Structure 1
Amino acid sequence: MTVWQTLAIAAVSGIAVPVFQSILEGGGKVLDRFGKGINEQTRQLIFSASEQYTTNFTERHGTLKVLGMREPIELEAVYTTVQVLQDDGSQQFDSLADQEANFRQSNRRFTPSDVPTQAGLAIADTQPYLLVLGGPGSGKSTLLKRVGLEALQGKKGEFDHGCIPVFIELKRFNAGELSLEAFIGREFEISGFPEPENFTAKALEQGKFLLLLDGLDEVPSEQIHGIMEEIQDFVDRYAQNRFMISCRTGAIRGSFPRFIDVVIADFDDAQIEQFISNWFSSASDQEAETAERCWAELQKSQNAAAKELAHTPLLLTFLCRVFDRSQKFPTNRSVLYRKALRILLEEWASEKRIQLDEIYQGLHTEAEEILLSEIAYQGFQANHFFFSKRELVDPIKTFLTDNLNAPQGLDGESILNAIVVQQGIIVQRAEDVYSFSHLSLQEYLTAQYIIDNHLMTEVSQEHLSDPAWQEVFVLIAGLMRGGADDLLLAMEQRTLTLLNQTVSEIPRSLLQWASDITTEQAGKYEPTAKRAIAIALALALTPAQSLARALAPTLTKILIKALNSEASPQGLLELAQKLQNLEIFTPEPLQMLIAQLEKLDAEATDAAKLKQRCLQAFQIPAAVLEISDRDVQHLRTYLYNNQLMVRCKQAAVKVSPQTWAEIESRMLRLSSG
């Protein structure tokens, strides 16, 4: 027996024995069984029953088994401190426009970062009546279970109220048939407590229970109001006990007057890192530093959108399982989002054995996914991430009306409510303000809509240069199972059109110079990369150094340092020699520059003259040196578009080698046509 089990048994029996003593003091038929007092035999019986109750509770509620796990894992092993919000910040904005503005400034986070949080265990310890709200997989049930496990430890735990925890899944009850007293009594009868009904009644009377009522939203909608009334009556009858109720956000908020409402906060970076560390805590994982590598992968910029999923414990569990199998995250992130969407659409409800409302009969998963993709796309087209109820209900009604195979007679508002409460793919952020739970899921669904409706050319024409659509383009490429050639060609055509529309000749002159000054021979760098380095070198000699840093940060840093006010020929000479060895540029410019630098006094400090020698050696067009802010912006857009094409090619399931070779040969150079 572990120390924890010993503490738990002592805590339960320490509460139970005085309760039985008070029962005996009240007289009645119990005296016939136990006599006038609790002897050693009775104490042992209570102790054994307490041991069994502790075992039952920990076996049922002390482990975690989700998303198809073959074996359960100890809750204690992976539990990460849950934070809750008493004010989730959703009501502080006056309009949808305010919500949009805040979201765009908050690094893709829907909950304001400055909203204060409190540890879930701490607030459960201070509040006798607590309603815990949150989205699917946010950790509501896990928090209730953890509070129950702490209560089992008595004074040694983090719950300091001397209560026996009772965990009750509300989906097991029907309105009119709910008898919490009978259910609690049954739990103690199963564990072997003597006189379980009398014990339950007396313990309730004395306030000896912590009642954990889990999943109010999982009750069928036609029964939820009846169940709520019965719970409220029970709380009023036995108000001296402590109560926690969990429910999905939006289902019943504000319906229990005695209760304090709290909302489970999204995991922050510290919680995500801690969860990953807990998940990969085995000896072999510690030796392989799996947790550190998983966290480092999530920190990479290309995984920023995938990291959004990690703010929800359920989807972070999914990410950890993905990394555990392959020790990396897939380059094609559409695979991740497709699975995450299906988890929310159907798998989570199935694993929890939740009976979905009748509203879903006939509205199968594929049809719902099509509906959600239309809403997601319309939001992106309108350049907003928040919706009013009308902006959601109207498309649902249109979908049902225009789709011959959609179930008829369904109510659009009821469908929206079911999606919000039962699945959490769309969540209510404030009064009449909704959004997708994760921007990455809206991006995925938008990409799916574009493919289903063959809109790749139109989207490239309208949104290629908009950074807000960046992830959508990458996901489109990953979803095009027949090949992403058409998308890449459409992106290239739009990029060239924008370049040709620029009034100034400077961007085109720079591209032509970069093509002329670099070699086409194979080497450490591909020709496209060589042209990018040449452009960066030229821009580093102009006021557009920030753009140069974005293209080639190391080269730009070295070149700027070599040409600063304390420059000497030696630093520039070493850079020129390195560039010569890399075979990026045609031989003549570097040969000329190296020969000139070798003749200069090593103590020479005239940075202006050194810069002039660079300009002469590389024959950079004089107009480029006068590049305007407008030209820089045109170049920035052009280079962004090219970089996005490369990302889409890397994310694609299939790309014709010939198509990509042709695109790459034209990249960062003027079209011969």
Structure 2
Amino acid sequence: MNKFQAKIGTISWLSYFAIRAYRSHVKQTYGKVRNIYLDKDEILDLEQVFVPMTLILRKEETFTLTKRKETREILTDPDHRRLVILANPGSGKTTLFQALSSGVSSRQWHELDHMLPVFISLRKFSAQTDCSELFDWICQETFPFHGLNHHTELLKSLIAQGRILLLLDGLDEINENNEHQTLMAIENFINTWDHQKEGRIFVSCREQNFNMLKDPTIFIRLGFQEYRLSDLRDREMETLIANRRDDFEKHHKHIDRFMKDIRSHPNTLSLHRNPLLLTISIALYLYRPHEEVPHNLAAFYEESIRHLLRRRDYTAKDCQNAFNERDKYFVLQQFALSYMNKCTKENKDFETFPIKLMIQVAQKAAKERINVSPDQAEKLVIEIQTKAGLITDTGDTSHFTFAHRSFHEYCAARLLSVHGEKGLKMLKKNILNPKWHQTAIFYISIVSLEGNNHAEDLILYLLHQAETKPFSEKKEILWLIARCASELNHPLEQLRTRLIDLLFQTIQQAEGDSQELMVSLVIMGRNAPEAVRKTVEIRLQQLIDIQNPQSLAKELNRLDQETALALLKFMADSNTQSHHDAALIGLQEMDCLEKIEILWTLLEKFENQHNQQASTHARHQIFSVIEQDHEAVSYLNNLNTRCLSFLEDQDVVNIYPFCPPDTKPDNFARLIALEKKNQTTTVSDVVQLDKDHPWKSFFIPC
């Protein structure tokens, strides 16, 4: 019977029904998500719940002035079928892959209609011992899970036709001792089955972990392009919030007031650019009686966990919590840290855990610390799962994970902070292990709010480690210090300046690629005191002259908007053409009205240099802002700079006859005239313009 099923798998009409059933099951599996923060199930619809963030090419050998591609264009580009997607915790890597799986199965991606999504958790794949090849794993695990049994021949046929969309999720979650084996499995699959690049292979990973791979060039050698998910831009953030309008109305809360609150301080706004933190903040805003948003990283997690643990305290009796928040939170912290220590000793990842171990921790706590009898410990753990949603089963009722990996890391950091000197000593012992890095960042955010010097002590310890390590290890430690320093709630200007100077010196001494170090220096300017931001700005200005300014410009969107624009203006105001080109590339990654002023300055310079390609690119960036922001035309016209003076007023009026009589044409009219003068294609070929813009008609070829 099995041989018969394998043979008919390649018969087209039977394959059609098998694939249709597979797609249906994939859609059921990944098309619905549990939103624990809003306490409801949601359809993972590409236009509602999921808002795709901007993907930025991480490293480019040559920089070209081309229109920035939207996320969908990148994911469906026929010329780039292998991608590594990098991001910070909570940025939506797994959600992106789940949305792709569900969307492609639901025919929402017409560009990929012919493809079959295959979602694989690299954590699960790397942890097993019976199957070392991805092809075998798909046949033995993934296909059967979605109802396709004994379809080896079908898989071979689909691969040969270029119809497999392989989504390898969570490279950062594999055990360190399994890293080489997992990377070899990916390489073997490509060399054996997809060496012609017929299919598509996407890999996701936390950026901080990707930088520490033992073989960091393997994906480049295999033909992958590396992209990183940027923080939410204003438009993306507003879209995600607008998609929650019904929830705001249901709870009688106002979106406009929420938006005003998150924009009240640059640090608060920066934190809300992370999709997970924004979702948490929305839930807290809706469910709590007082309208207040968290203002630092620790507050997001602390308030969210406590809210989830107590939200059923006052519901109907049959749904009411039986255990108090304090006891449940104590168990979560005790388990999170003890299990991380256990896994570190065994050199394995901590994400998936046997639920019996958490029950054992609860039983021990019941005997020693919490107000619960040992025979009630299992019920307490079940309540954490069913009513708080902070832990969830993996499809196997004996193994669980935290709802998000970062909740596990935060709970461990919270207990480390409670342990005082003992916790600091434990963290120092483990801090160079990449699996502990996010916990260290959370720890800094927590303890820097307290009245001790543990945050400063930990960073000084890391600085000492960096100063004594060889360059390859120093680079990784400096990145971690920069991330930790960005979470400090005390000025500590002397300490920060010392780190900035060390980063600057290391970049100067670096041979070859120093992009990761420059990113670390950029991060040092985030959420920093004014004097520190100014120091970072000065150092970056110095690096513009001695490093690749284009590479640096692409990373400036990691900074707060004010600092990034100041550096881009510095480039634009210089007398060096390469700086002008770099500023133009950097501005493409910015999403704000204020960039028009710098673009306007650059436009004059490009025209004077007879650099038509750059001039066209600058104009089209301005048009793109005008299309998206109704205040852009007024902003442009109010600029003091009167550039494009070489255009005769009458020539401008002949093209754009709506200028008031007896007045000089405004900046907008000059922009349109210049575009018409240089027109070889319509602006809509470069920027998708809304048909309601009346000025679009000026670019319709005669």
TM-score by length of 2: 0.43
Larger Rg: 1
By relative contact order (CA 8 Å, sep 6+), the higher-ranking structure is 1
TM-score by length of 1: 0.45
